[in-house]
Amino acid sequence: MHGIEDILQRNHKVEMDKAWETSKIRRGVIAVITYLVAVAFMMRIGVTDSWLNALVPTGGYILSTLSLPFIKRWWLNKYHQ
């Protein structure tokens, strides 16, 4: 049987995981990795201006992280009331 301390520790871990999932640092790190991988791939296949063109998938990722909170609120209101 779990004691109250176990439950509090679990809740703290869940809160920290959620904070990480929504953090700007995490999104920034993923954006940088996405950009570097896209540049390397584009250079490898011979795309001109790889450094510039790699902004497209990176921008797409960033835009998706900005729009998801709005979509999540809509979805929660529509399907989970």
Distance between CA atoms of residues 18 and 22, nearest Å: 6
Q: ∠ at Cα 53 (48, 54), nearest 5°? A: 120
- How does pLDDT run across 60-75, given as a tens digit for each residue? 999 888 877 788 888 8
Task: Give per-residue pLDDT as tens, 17-44.
Answer: 999 988 999 999 999 999 999 999 999 9
Question: Global pTM?
Answer: 0.75
User: Where exactly are the structural domains of the chain?
Assistant: 4-79
Phi, psi dihedrals of residue 3, rounded to the nearest 5°: -85, 170
